[in-house]
């Protein structure tokens, strides 16, 4: 039965050459029961360490981990009803696919008939029924990873932990297995935690995303919220492809109103957020998907450098006249050539504003909510 996973002030320090290295730093969060939650972030940010602590393969240096109402911090992995699939496929080479899938059940003493039934069910879900009597060496990488997933599936775990299970597969197999993993989640009554460094995978598969930054929690939210309401420049840049455009601007007061004045554009700024910041440098973030060659309240000049076709859309990689990198995603820019000067529009509602520490000051829809000209 799926269980909530709760981490309270979890820390993990490793000692290397006499100095302590903090791999996971004061992590507190609650992963909802039955959800598909992805741990994402760049290499070394603490994803695997966090997953291994949830599995019981690492003990936190401090803090508590609970499954439902039960604290499991000091419980062994076997006592947690938790299954884990690793990036490197770990199958027993001398056993058939069927024996590999059923091995965990055999160790637990599950009777043969019951084992056979569960192996068959797992194989059907993962579409490997035809392979059940083969040896692992006769399977492709994708099929081997399905067998590894099957071994986890048959155990009917409360918590299923997946550590980059697709990173060694080619793009097509990855796309197929992504669907299998989601199907698996729908059939299992389990809370799934999935580790990846691939933000596209995280965005497409998850109910919730945990984005880590150097061992610390940066944002924990549904994918759409990370895309539309990033709490920091780090989140805005990590989530979404191409990355969020970042333009510098200065907070100014003009004719009694606050504005953000950038190179070639000026946008309104609310007194609530900016009255105490006049003269400050801020960063205006705009997603490439929210820039348009055909509409927008405000305009930017973009000098095109490279144009890529992505299916039905084009990505123009260019620069502003001041040299800031800027990307535009649009279905209508296929005719653009290198060196073309484009006028690109955007709406204030679609921007993010970050302070000099990279923290979000406000979102576009908050820039115009409190005009400072109020009736006396
Ligand atoms: P990747 O995407 O590259 O797998 P990750 O986000 O999963 O990275 P972790 O493997 O959790 O990161 O590692 C987090 C940090 O802890 C890294 O700096 C790593 O070098 C360090 N670390 C992990 N395991 C150990 C260990 N057993 N001993 C010492 N340091 C470790």
Closest Cα to atom 21 of ligand 1: 23
Residue owning tokens 């990505």: 315
Atom of ligand 1 nearest to the CA of 51: 11
Å from CA of 212 to ligand 1 middle = 12
216/145: higher pLDDT: 216
pLDDT of residue 114: 92
Å from CA of 43 to ligand 1 middle = 8
Beta-carbon contacts of residue 156 (< 8 Å; ≥ 6 apart): 118, 188, 189, 190
DSSP H or E segment with residue 107: helix 97-107
pLDDT beyond 60 at 165: yes
In this prediction, residue 369 has a pLDDT band, given cuts at 50, 70 and 90, of: low
Beta-carbon contacts of residue 124 (< 8 Å; ≥ 6 apart): none
- In CATH, 5-231 is 3.40.50.620: no
What value does the mean pLDDT take over residues 70-98?
A: 89
Fold of 242-366: OB fold (Dihydrolipoamide Acetyltransferase, E2P) (2.40.50)
Atom of ligand 1 nearest to the CA of 41: 6
Closest Cα to atom 20 of ligand 1: 44
Q: Where in the chain is the domain with CATH 2.40.50.140?
A: 242-366
Helices and strands (H and E) in the chain: how many: 9, 20
In whole angstroms, give the CA distance from residue 95 to residue 144.
13
Average pLDDT over all residues of the chain: 90
In whole angstroms, give the CA distance from residue 152 to residue 187.
13
Q: Where in the chain is the domain with CATH 3.40.50.300?
A: 5-231
Atom of ligand 1 nearest to the CA of 45: 6
HSE-CB at 39 with a 13 A cutoff on CA atoms is: 31
Cβ–Cβ under 8 Å, residues 201 and 38: yes
Å from CA of 235 to ligand 1 middle = 21
- The pTM assigned to this predicted structure is 0.90
Å from CA of 44 to ligand 1 middle = 5
Cβ–Cβ under 8 Å, residues 308 and 315: yes
User: Ligand 1 pocket by C-beta < 6 Å: which residues?
Assistant: 14, 16, 21, 23, 41, 43-49, 197
Residue owning tokens 């576009």: 364
Cβ–Cβ under 8 Å, residues 227 and 240: yes
pLDDT per position as a tens digit, 123-159: 888 888 999 999 999 988 888 888 998 898 888 899 9
pLDDT beyond 80 at 266: yes
Atom of ligand 1 nearest to the CA of 24: 14
Å from CA of 13 to ligand 1 middle = 10
């Amino acid at each position: 039965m799926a269980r909530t996973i709760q981490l309270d002030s979890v820390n993990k320090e490793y000692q290397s050459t006499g100095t302590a290295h903090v791999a996971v730093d004061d992590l507190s969060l609650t992963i909802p029961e039955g959800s598909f939650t992805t741990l994402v972030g760049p290499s070394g940010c603490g994803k695997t360490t966090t997953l291994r602590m949830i599995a019981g393969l690492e003990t936190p240096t401090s803090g508590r981990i609970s499954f439902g109402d039960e604290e499991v911090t000091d419980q062994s992995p076997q006592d947690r009803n938790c299954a884990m699939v690793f990036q490197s496929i770990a199958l027993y080479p001398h056993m058939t696919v069927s024996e590999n899938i059923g091995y965990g059940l055999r160790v637990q003493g599950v009777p043969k008939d019951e084992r056979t039934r569960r192996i068959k069910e797992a194989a059907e879900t993962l579409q490997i029924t035809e392979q059940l009597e083969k040896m692992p060496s006769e399977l492709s990488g994708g099929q081997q990873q399905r067998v590894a997933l099957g071994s986890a599936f048959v155990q009917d775990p409360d918590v299923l932990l997946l550590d980059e299970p697709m990173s060694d597969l080619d793009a097509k197999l990855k796309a197929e297995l992504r669907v299998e993993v989601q199907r698996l989640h729908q059939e299992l009554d389990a809370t799934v935690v999935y580790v990846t460094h691939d933000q596209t995978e995280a965005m497409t598969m998850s109910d919730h995303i945990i984005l880590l930054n150097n061992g610390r929690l940066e944002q924990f939210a549904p994918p759409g919220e990370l895309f539309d309401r990033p709490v920091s420049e780090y989140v805005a840049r990590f989530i979404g492809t191409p990355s969020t455009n970042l333009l510098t601007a200065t907070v100014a007061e003009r004719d009694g109103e606050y504005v953000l004045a950038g190179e070639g554009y000026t946008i309104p700024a609310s007194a609530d957020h900016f009255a105490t910041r006049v003269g400050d440098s801020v960063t205006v973030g705009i997603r490439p998907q929210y820039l348009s060659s055909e509409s927008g309240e405000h305009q930017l000049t973009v000098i095109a450098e490279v144009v890529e076709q992505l299916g039905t859309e084009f990505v123009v990689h260019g620069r502003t006249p001041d040299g800031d990198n800027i990307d535009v995603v649009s279905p209508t820019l296929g005719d653009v050539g290198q060196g073309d000067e484009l006028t690109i529009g955007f709406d204030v509602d679609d921007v993010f504003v970050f302070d000099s520490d990279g923290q979000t000051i406000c979102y576009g829809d908050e820039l115009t909510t409190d005009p400072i000209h109020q009736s006396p």
